[in-house]
Amino acid sequence: MRFHSDEATAVRRGHLVPEQLEDWVPSACAAVAEHLRHRGIAPTGYPYARWHPLPGGEIEAEAGFPVGTPIAGSGDVEPSSLPAGPVLAVWHTDPDEKIPLSYHAVQDWLETGAAVATGDSWEVYHDLPTCDHVGTRIEIVQPITFPTP
């Protein structure tokens, strides 16, 4: 557990089915990186992706980079943010197909009752994504709150 500070981000958004996420994230991060480069804006951290389930099995996804100050929306790249507050962070360093096990570890910890999830988790890619791969050092970050006794 740790405290996460509020972070302004630059992202690309999309409505997808979960199976598209693996291919979409690297291309979205590449598009945001190119957008920032053309404007002389340096990311302040590693790329990330966050998504929210929608009815009908779709997800609303965003992928991009943290930035020092909020950006103006332009074309396919929009401003967003990651919330401040306590988070549970779990490292995933196995092959991609085993990432569900890391999410199960987060869920198992939450089921102990020590904390409650507050919003959607996100993945931070500590290996810079290529156009076809997000890497193997992935940090899963889940915002949490602590129940009052």
Domains and CATH numbers, the chain: 2-145 (3.20.80.10)
CA distance 24 to 1: 29
CA distance 142 to 123: 9
Quick one: which of 113, 143, 134 has its CA closest to 48? 134
What integer is the mean pLDDT of 4-19?
Answer: 96
Burial class (CB in 10 A: 0-12, 13-18, 19+), 30: middle
Query: Tens of pLDDT along 66-122?
Result: 999 999 988 899 999 999 999 999 888 765 667 778 888 888 888 887 899 999 999
Give the predicted TM-score (pTM) of the model. Answer: 0.89
Measured CA distances, 131 to 48, 63, 127, 135 (Å): 14, 13, 12, 11
Mean pLDDT for the chain?
89
The residue written with tokens 């979205």 in the block is 28
pLDDT: is 92 or 134 the higher one?
92
Quick one: which of 30, 32, 18 has its CA closest to 99? 18
- pLDDT category at 142 given cuts 50, 70, 90 is very high
